[in-house]
Amino acid sequence: GESVGLHLPTLSVQEGDNSIINCAYSNSASDYFIWYKQESGKGPQFIIDIRSNMDKRQGQRVTVLLNKTVKHLSLQIAATQPGDSAVYFCAEKRGYSTLTFGKGTMLLVSP
């Protein structure tokens, strides 16, 4: 079936490094993508989104890249901080459908 998945279940980085979290999607009709951050014991928190008519979008310290050719989404976090340690989920949707979430990648930032 069509699904959203992640390449790496756990990513460990040093404080100050740049982090890249990857996500593959299988439905070329998906037109909207979101990255969420979930800290331990809390609900998911919106980070950044991108529509399929864009290939890059930047926020504060975060950048999302969309490669529709290979159906790949990535989240780049610049100058990673210990507070960035969390599970990151990508989610996708098509038109007015509901969001479909991937399984998540845990980002561990060590000082």
Q: Does 35 bind another protein (CB under 8 A)?
A: no
Q: Does 40 bind another protein (CB under 8 A)?
A: no
Would you list the DSSP string of 72-91? EEEEEESS--GGG-EEEEEE
Q: Does 99 bind another protein (CB under 8 A)?
A: yes
Q: Does 93 bind another protein (CB under 8 A)?
A: yes
> What order of strands is seen across the sheet that includes strand 19-25?
4-6, 19-25, 72-77, 62-67, 56-58
Phi (first) and psi of residue 79, to 5 degrees? 50, 60
Least distance CB 14 / another protein (angstroms)? 26
Instruction: Report the interface residues with another protein, using CB under 8 A.
Output: 4, 32, 34, 36, 41-46, 49, 89, 93, 95-96, 98-99, 101-104
